[in-house]
Amino acid sequence: MSKNVITSAYIKRALLFICGKGKSGDIHFFYKNEKERFTPLYKDDGEDGFTACFDLASGYDKAPIPNGKWVLKFDGEIEADSIDSRDFSDNGGVYRIELNCNNDEISLISKLSPTKVNLTVKCADIILKTIFHAAKMVAKSNDRVLFTSQSRKDISGNEKDILDEILKRDKLKNRLKIKFSFTDKPNFKYYIKTAWMLGQSETIIIDDYHPIVYRFNYDKKVKIAQLWHACGAFKTFGYSRLGKEGSLRFDSNAHRCYTHAFVSGDGIRKYYAEAFGIPMECVYATGVPRCDNLKSTTKKDTDKFTILFAPTFRGNGKESAHYPFEMLNLDKLADVCRENNMQVIFKMHPFIKEQVPISDRHKDVLFDQSNLREVNDILNYADLVITDYSSLIYEAALLDKPMLFYTFDLDEYIATRDFYEPFEKFVPGKIVSNFDNLIKAIEKKEFDNDKVESFKQFNFSNYKFDAAKKIVDILFN
């Protein structure tokens, strides 16, 4: 009879992985004679052994584990021999974890002190929570649905697809009382209005980071659905970036209130649970609504080979977002386009406010369409997609588009942002690190197309292009 043996224990991002032979069983950490338990985010038990993954950022009732020594409970032997530690301290708070392993015991020692909050934030919090609770008290309906964003002027993308699906169903449409709160320039007036609407709503639907949503404690009956604006799990986000510059605070309330998060496939549920600090059972592999219409192709009104250039931004967020346009040689790109009957459409990330510096003499073949909010409005027209670390690659793969990855700053990006999987093995196309090689790949049409199909199968297995229908069924059935 085979033994249950732990062979390794290590910390990666804000996760603790414990691996071994045999079965994991009822594996967990305990504190003070089993009075407090720290259980895995998920477990994988297979023929070759097991992996138990513990979420150090959010695994203790959607929060980091409290101070003290936590000892592993495991029905088997321990052969791991390592000492690892992580410091997730930021913004004036402290959160340090030390992992100790020996033949008798595996333990975690946590040192946690909260982030200090300034007086202005405290006062704003009191005002908004007062409004929120007043709205709860006067709410007269359990059928109120709120679509909201503070990064969009009006409803679009995933939220628009869910609204359209609701409006197709007469019985549901007539029952629900649908409200909207949208802006791309939030101010205190917007926060006051939205706090009131949040307090009155039974179902709240968002698809991006939305700070005011995270301020309140909601009743258990309230559903908070995160559709997330990007497909897949490519570059790390949320609590997966804990401890890196520009990341969330370790004791932040961001994301942790979601009751439902909807993702493209089963293989990435664990990454979204990690990033949002929520249990795996709150993450649903339904597909992504914005992809539902990608199966239809759109004919171009030109015979030119059309390149969509759509990179992500650099920086820590909306305020510092930028793209280093000096890394583009637009003269050379325009020449290649004229020589090969091509054109390039630029679609920069919505956070980037600078225009692509296209001179008048190149506007016959180079076009800036960054004013469009949804990149999918352009994607169908593309014969080739050039990007770097953008989640656009998921939609492009669904349409079988060839891709090039222009990654002149890959090492720096890994150090500051990182990915869930090794970049070189994961991306479905050819990687180039300088502009000359990018031009050569375009001219010779060397795109490594063979990688697209396997990428699509991994991330969208059995995809039916019916995500909006599934999500509405789950939320309102």
pLDDT greater than 50 at residue 1? no
For residue 423, what is the domain's CATH number? 3.40.50.12580
Same domain, 264 and 125: yes
Same domain, 132 and 247: yes
What is the rounded distance in angstroms from the CA atom of residue 166 to the CA atom of residue 289?
Answer: 13
pLDDT greater than 80 at residue 462? no
Where does the pLDDT of residue 298 fall: very low under 50, low under 70, confident under 90, or very high at 90 and above? low
pLDDT score recorded for residue 302: 82
pLDDT score recorded for residue 374: 77
**Look-up of token digits 């004919």:** 299
Same domain, 152 and 91: no
pLDDT score recorded for residue 174: 95
pLDDT score recorded for residue 430: 96
**Comparison of pLDDT for 320 and 437, the residue scoring more:** 437
Where does the pLDDT of residue 2 fall: very low under 50, low under 70, confident under 90, or very high at 90 and above? low
Where does the pLDDT of residue 81 fall: very low under 50, low under 70, confident under 90, or very high at 90 and above? confident
- Residue where a domain terminates, one of 63, 80, 113: 113
Alpha helix locations (H) across 14-156? 119-138
Same domain, 323 and 252: no
Q: Over the stretch 107-124, which tens digit does the pLDDT of each residue have?
A: 999 999 998 888 998 999
DSSP state of 331: H
Q: Average pLDDT, stretch 409-428?
A: 91
What is the rounded distance in angstroms from the CA atom of residue 379 to the CA atom of residue 418?
Answer: 26
What is the rounded distance in angstroms from the CA atom of residue 197 to the CA atom of residue 183?
Answer: 14
Q: Average pLDDT, stretch 402-421?
A: 93
Closest to 292 (Cα-Cα) out of 155, 399, 170, 166: 399
Same domain, 126 and 239: yes
Same domain, 50 and 185: no
Q: Over the stretch 127-163, which tens digit does the pLDDT of each residue have?
A: 999 999 999 998 877 899 999 999 999 999 899 999 9
Q: Over the stretch 199-225, which tens digit does the pLDDT of each residue have?
A: 999 999 999 999 999 999 999 999 999
For residue 206, what is the domain's CATH number? 3.40.50.11820
Where does the pLDDT of residue 295 fall: very low under 50, low under 70, confident under 90, or very high at 90 and above? low
Q: Over the stretch 429-450, which tens digit does the pLDDT of each residue have?
A: 999 999 999 999 999 999 988 8
Q: Please give the tally of structural domains in the chain.
A: 3
Q: End-to-end CA distance of the chain, in Å? A: 47
Q: How far is CA 234 from the centre of its chain?
A: 8
pLDDT score recorded for residue 71: 95
Mean pLDDT of the chain: 92
Same domain, 281 and 137: yes
pLDDT score recorded for residue 433: 95
Same domain, 230 and 185: yes
What is the rounded distance in angstroms from the CA atom of residue 251 to the CA atom of residue 63?
Answer: 7
Which residues fall within 8 angstroms of residue 213, CB to CB, at 6 or more apart? 148, 198, 204, 206, 224, 257
Which tokens hold the place of 451?
A: 């990688």
Same domain, 143 and 193: yes
Same domain, 358 and 279: no
- Residue where a domain terminates, one of 62, 79, 113: 113
**Look-up of token digits 């003070």:** 32
**Comparison of pLDDT for 217 and 290, the residue scoring more:** 217
Name the pairing type of β-strands 42-46 and 5-12. Answer: unpaired
Q: Average pLDDT, stretch 401-407?
A: 96
What is the rounded distance in angstroms from the CA atom of residue 342 to the CA atom of residue 124?
Answer: 53
- Residue where a domain terminates, one of 113, 146, 178: 113
Q: Over the stretch 144-153, which tens digit does the pLDDT of each residue have?
A: 999 999 999 9
Domain of 13 in residue numbering reads as 5-113
pLDDT greater than 80 at residue 359? yes
Q: Average pLDDT, stretch 235-242?
A: 92
Same domain, 147 and 283: yes
pLDDT score recorded for residue 296: 54
